[in-house]
Amino acid sequence: MRIGIAQLNPTVGDLVGNRRLILDAYHTLVAQGAELVVYPELVICGYPPRDLLLKRRFVSDVETTLTEIAAVIGEVPALIGTVEANPAATGRRCYNSAAFCQNGRVVSLARKCLLPTYDVFDEDRYFEPSSAPPSVITVSGKKIGITLCEDIWTHPELAPSNRYRFQPVNWLADQKLDLMVNLSASPWHHGKGYLRDQLITDAALQLGCPVVYVNAVGGNDELVFDGRSLVSDATGRITARLPAFTTENRVVDTTVTLAASPGQSAAVAGCAPVAQPTSPMADIHAALVLGLRDYTHKSGFKKALIALSGGIDSALVAELAVAALGADNVMGVSLPSAISSDHSKDDARDLARNLGIRFETIAIADSVAAAEAALGPIFAGRAPDVTEENIQARVRGVLMMALSNKFGALLLTTGNKSEVAVGYCTLYGDMCGGLAVISDVYKTQVYELCRWINRERIVIPVSTIEKPPSAELRPGQVDQDSLPPYDMLDAILQGYVEDGQSRRDLVARGFAEHVVNDIVRKVDLNEYKRKQAAPGLKITPLAFGVGRRIPIVQKYVS
């Protein structure tokens, strides 16, 4: 069967714009010979709609938009992710559904069975789960099972906690299907593509039929969707894969099969047609660029601002901004204080030259001195400490926000995950901004990314990468005055923040107890800063933000 896959980039709440995308894709794919056109989950309203679903008119407006779309759908049917109002007097207000449309009307609706309520997902807050098994439709004499995203995420190796009593794929295995389609809006994190491959190919083997997986692409708030829609044949071999981090409309033939080499299993043959990217850094870079571009444009901005310290974090953010928005739409600003080193100022200038962006310098020594003079009478008799250091950072924040207001440009913050985790950042200072681009990128990954960026030519100055990292808030300061080496810090943070390990677990892994205690204390103590931080792009299985909900005021010691 010839399936038209519409790998689209919808915007949350943009019903008119999303309708246009849906219909444009339909006409394109029908013209290419599609017998059925399939779209991502909730494509009409965008994913995740969150509390828009609680607005009085939102669900009915989505249903009206679906009716308008269905009126244009001809003899070639389409499966479209949508919101369906719950007609019952009890339960949640709506269902997460797939509308089967043909000949100008909505023929039927297939409801999502399993609602994820973990990490960034809170679908049980809004949707009612289907009380019936997955829907099965007939198209051109073919029996097609319909699942939505989480309905297939029940593989024992991928969901060891056994979250669900009911497994939709198991039920569909008895239906003798000719094809299964999965409509998804599955956010990306590093390594997730391989998990999806296993899910889809295992489902195909269990069902004994081809499986078509269509995923959304694009950035919505902190989430990045990578696309990578794919098709597996009945033997578990992937026969088609759409590209990562970009939209595409493609017709795929589910009757295509692949012959394995002698002795080659289906699992080994699975990725033969189109391999996954070989460079993890290429994947992370593409995700950050897409997330930054969509956050900027979907928020109504065209330009971005970055405070260039001469350090590696701001250099990386500037390069990502240029890749996302173009050099003409990025401004870098150096804000040297009385103690800023010459090499930092030179590195900032060299970076801007390499990137081809506008570069401005605003000296802050006089502004800092004025603030210190104003506070002097009240601070009399108290020794200088981190308070004075933070004045520098906060003066920079004031000036950068003023530039943002004046030029209508989005200010990008430059703190990495390692710094944000332990509070090595200044609230209302370097944390000022509208998007924390690399707040889910560990410092060790920052270095890897910068070296990857420089793989063909020097973009980020070599001295920026090689010099000891420093906030330069006092003479001679380096990060390692306050923190352990970043490879050690990042390993501890990954264990504590992402894997839920306790202090005892970390010490048992060989980390010094006093180091573990200090890092864990800093992570817990600085929760209040992270609650006030700009949203950050998620690239790991657990990022700071909506997926990690630790109380600010709490006394638990792990």
Amino acid at residue number 461: P
User: What is the token pair recorded at 129?
Assistant: 């789960």
Decide if 126 contacts 53 (C-beta within 8 A). yes
CB atoms within 10 A of CB 222: 24
Amino acid at residue number 126: Y
| Cα–Cα distance measured from residue 159 to residue 321, given in angstroms and rounded to the nearest whole number | 36
Strand partners, 226: 217
Give the H or E element holding residue 3. Answer: strand 2-7
Residue 149 catalytic?
yes
Which residue reads 């997926």 in tokens?
A: 547
Q: Which residues of 266-294 are buried (b: 16+ CB within 10 A; e: fewer)?
A: beebbbeeeeeeeeebebbbbbbbbbbbb
- Give the 3-state secondary structure of residue 345: helix
Contacts of residue 333, defined as CB under 8 A and 6 or more positions apart, other chains included, come to 305, 306, 307, 308, 359, 360, 361, 362, 399, 400, 403
- List 94, 149, 209, 425, catalytic entry: 149
Contacts of residue 380, defined as CB under 8 A and 6 or more positions apart, other chains included, come to none
- List 112, 417, 529, 538, catalytic entry: 112
| Cα–Cα distance measured from residue 541 to residue 218, given in angstroms and rounded to the nearest whole number | 18
| 230-232: strand order across its sheet | 136-139, 142-148, 179-184, 211-215, 230-232, 238-241
SS (H, E, C) 92-133: CCEEEEEEEEECCEEEEEEECCCCCCCCCCCHHHCECCCCCC
Strand partners, 220: 223
| Cα–Cα distance measured from residue 55 to residue 3, given in angstroms and rounded to the nearest whole number | 35
| Cα–Cα distance measured from residue 175 to residue 234, given in angstroms and rounded to the nearest whole number | 15
Active site residues: 41, 112, 149
